[in-house]
Amino acid sequence: MRIRAAHATELTALQDIERAAGVWFREIGMDPIAEDEPLSVAELARYVRAGLAWVAAGEVGRPVAYLIADRVDGNLHVEQVTVHPDSARRGVGRALLEHAAERARGEGAAALTLTTFTGVPWNAPYYGRCGFRVLAECELTPGLREIRRAEAAHGLDRWPRCCMRREV
């Protein structure tokens, strides 16, 4: 598995990975999450242009997972990390997170941050195993508060969520 920058020609493949990964949410009764459309090609292209989109490429060089990030309050914020179900449970997501941590370190950021579902096994519990910790409300930065407000407006607070941080 090779981690590399995402290419603009792969954006529909990233959307396909996101749709395929919806199966996991359907299995635990989170159908609205499973059915939520992936980011548009235009939105994904913004991450590629900013140099903040990476893929895990399989044997033939085709993406099997991806991670996109933003810069939020001086840290690198993991906006999305998704692994195709056919490549799950092989350390691919962790490899993408490690790549993002290296990038954050190289940019002088103190941490990776993210928001996630607390009760989904491959969300907060998984990120905890990857070195992230749940932030208390008083630890949230203005940017993280704004992200949480946007998530709530999108209906994601129907299920418990949290902000997490990993020092790099």
Tell me: pLDDT of 21 over 90. Answer: yes
- Position 58 confidence tier, pLDDT thresholds 50, 70, 90: confident
Q: Give ∠ CA 161-89-107 in degrees, rounded to 5.
A: 65
Q: Which residue has the higher pLDDT, 129 or 59?
A: 129
Whether the predicted model's global pTM rises above the 0.85 cut: yes
Question: What number is the average pLDDT over the span 57-86?
Answer: 95
| Contacts made by residues 156-159, CB under 8 angstroms, sequence distance 24+ | 156/33, 158/32, 159/30, 159/33, 159/117, 159/119, 159/120
Q: Pinpoint the alpha helices (H) of 10-158.
A: 11-27, 31-35, 41-49, 92-107, 124-129, 142-153
| 72 three-state secondary structure | strand
